[in-house]
Every structure is written in C-alpha cells, then in structure tokens.
Amino acid sequence: CHELDTDIIGKKVISFETIDSTNDYAKQIATNENEGTTIVSEEQTSGRGRLGRHWHSKSHEGIWMSIILKPNIVPYKAPFITLIAGASIAKALNTLGVNTKIKWPNDVIVNGKKICGILTELSAEIERINYVVLGIGINVKTMEFSSEIENIATSLYKEGYNLSRVDVVKAIIKEFETLYFDYIHKNSKLETLKVCRNYSAIIGKKIYILQGEDRELVKCIDINEDGNLIVEKDNGSIKEIVSGEVSIRGE
Ligand code: BTN
C-alpha cells in the first residue's frame, strides 16, 4: 500500500491486523518468497524476544516487522546482519531527529532505555543459508509498560518524539538496503562498523557481560572488524566477545 524507495527490501509487504508473531509467519513462507518480502502486523499475540522472552506487541503501538533475506554468504557470516539492522535503525532514527544509541549487539536505546529489539533467525545448511528472518520490534507509541520492564523500556512517544510509523519504517528499510547490499554484494562492512562505533552506547564504558547466572565487569574498548566486542578485564587482559548480552553498569 505504501511506495518504498528501495529495489528489493520491502518491495513486497504483507500486512496483518493481528498475528501470532511476524517472525513465525515469515519462517513459514520464507522458502516460497523472494528476498526482501516484509511482514508487518499491527499486533502480535505471541511476539517473541531473544532468549525465549515475551515481546510486548500491542495493537498500533509499535512497528512489529520481519524481513525475509536470502543472502548468498556462508552461515557464520549471518550474525553480522543483526549489526547491519541495528546500524540502519540508529542511522534512520538519528536522521529523523531521535537521539539514538546502539547497545551491542541487538538493542537500540534512547535516553538509556530500550526502544527497539532485533531477533535474527537463521535457517541454514552446512555451507549455505536457506533464509534469514530479520525481526525488528520498535516501541513507537507505547505509553505504559508492564512493571517488570518499565525501568528498562521506553517508546519514541514517551521520549518526546511523535513520529509516524510509516515514515520510520521507510527510513529504516532504505538505510538497511544500502548497508545490507554493501555487505552481501561488495563484502564491505565499513559503514556498518562506523555507525556501530559512532552510536555505541557502551564503547568506553564499564559493562557487565552476562552469561547465564554469571556476570563479569569489564571495560568496553571497541567493536572489531568482525563486529565482535573487544573488552578489557580487570587484570588488563583483552577478550573478544562474539555474542551475548551486556548491561551497562549502573543501568
Ligand atoms: C529482543 O530484544 O529480545 C528482540 C525483540 C524482537 C521483536 C520483534 S517484533 C517483530 C518480530 N516478531 C517477533 O515475534 N519478534 C520480532
């Protein structure tokens, strides 16, 4: 229904009033769809977050969308797509006037609170990818969050930004297509890494690396060429974090 200024991503949009999860639907149809097909829904009844968590996806309050991708790359290179998505979202929102930061590897934050989560799901064989479903959830209009998350979650509207969801989606998809094609067709990560570093919420800060029940306090130094986190431990040794969850000290 809305014209997108892109070549592939979002050329076909399938929209729902309500659905269980746009990621689940995308996975069901992915094999028969072309790259770029995008699923959006006004509401999700079983929106999913990372680590099996529930994702609050009330009607008309946010952007709940999943993009089907079929990158011709080896499967171990797929996690970088999450960073591309985070970079696109941060870049698009900053261009729309929202002061946005990226909390490596999956979250986009405003004023220290999460407004966006990314859930990338991969179907692959040993050497090749069947498809990737890139799920993006952005709290746009939400005014009230449940008590478990009200200290860590926010929405664009709550932070004082009154943006149309269509404008936000268009801007993100445009940025995403550019950065994604750089990676897939030109093997270039430069712009994504630059954006991830420039808008990083954690570089230079003390953070906790969370692994199950364990947490380790380290200083975040950089994001390296592979998109992994470089941290310094208390004893001065340097460690590379490939994936996982971080929390900023004091937050
Ligand atoms: C997270 O931060 O844990 C990731 C949240 C991802 C939420 C989005 S909303 C659209 C898509 N469909 C889902 O069920 N989840 C993702």
Residue-level pLDDT at 243: 80
Q: Please, which residues have CB within 8 angstroms of residue 213's CB and are 6 or more apart in sequence?
A: none
Instruction: For residue 251, name the pLDDT band (cuts at 50, 70, 90).
Output: low
Q: How far apart are the C-alpha atoms of 57 and 234, rounded to whole Å?
A: 40
Mean pLDDT of all residues in 134-151: 95
CB-based contact 36:131 (threshold 8 Å) = no
| Count of beta carbons in the 10 Å neighbourhood of residue 241 | 21
Statement to judge: residues 104 and 18 lie in one domain: yes
Statement to judge: residues 234 and 137 lie in one domain: no
Backbone angles phi, psi at 188, to 5 degrees: -110, 125
The enclosing domain of 34 has a CATH number of: 3.30.930.10
Mean pLDDT of all residues in 158-168: 96
Q: Indicate whether residue 50 lines ligand 1 (CB < 6 A).
A: yes
Mean pLDDT of all residues in 174-202: 97
If one counts the domains in the chain, the total is 2
Residue-level pLDDT at 244: 76
Mean pLDDT of all residues in 218-241: 95
Q: In what order do the strands lie in the sheet with 38-44?
A: 13-19, 38-44, 62-69, 129-139, 113-124, 107-110, 100-103
> Which residue's CA lies nearest to atom 11 of ligand 1?
135
3-state secondary structure string across 106-149: CEEEECCEEEEEEEEEEEECCCCEEEEEEEEEEECCCCCCCCCC
Is residue 3 in some structural domain? no
Residue-level pLDDT at 107: 96
Is residue 179 in some structural domain? yes
Q: Indicate whether residue 139 lines ligand 1 (CB < 6 A).
A: no
Instruction: For residue 28, name the pLDDT band (cuts at 50, 70, 90).
Output: very high
Mean pLDDT of all residues in 84-109: 97
| Structural domain of 238 | 206-248
Question: What is the length of the chain?
Answer: 251
Residue-level pLDDT at 250: 58
Residue-level pLDDT at 248: 77
Residue-level pLDDT at 35: 98
Statement to judge: residues 98 and 144 lie in one domain: yes
Residue-level pLDDT at 214: 87
User: What is the model's pTM?
Assistant: 0.96
Show binding-site residues.
21-23, 44, 48-50, 114
Show binding-site residues for biotin.
21-23, 44, 48-50, 114
Q: Please, which residues have CB within 8 angstroms of residue 146's CB and are 6 or more apart in sequence?
A: 56
Q: Indicate whether residue 145 lines ligand 1 (CB < 6 A).
A: no
Statement to judge: residues 108 and 137 lie in one domain: yes
Statement to judge: residues 40 and 157 lie in one domain: yes
Is residue 167 in some structural domain? yes
Is residue 2 in some structural domain? no
Instruction: For residue 3, name the pLDDT band (cuts at 50, 70, 90).
Output: low
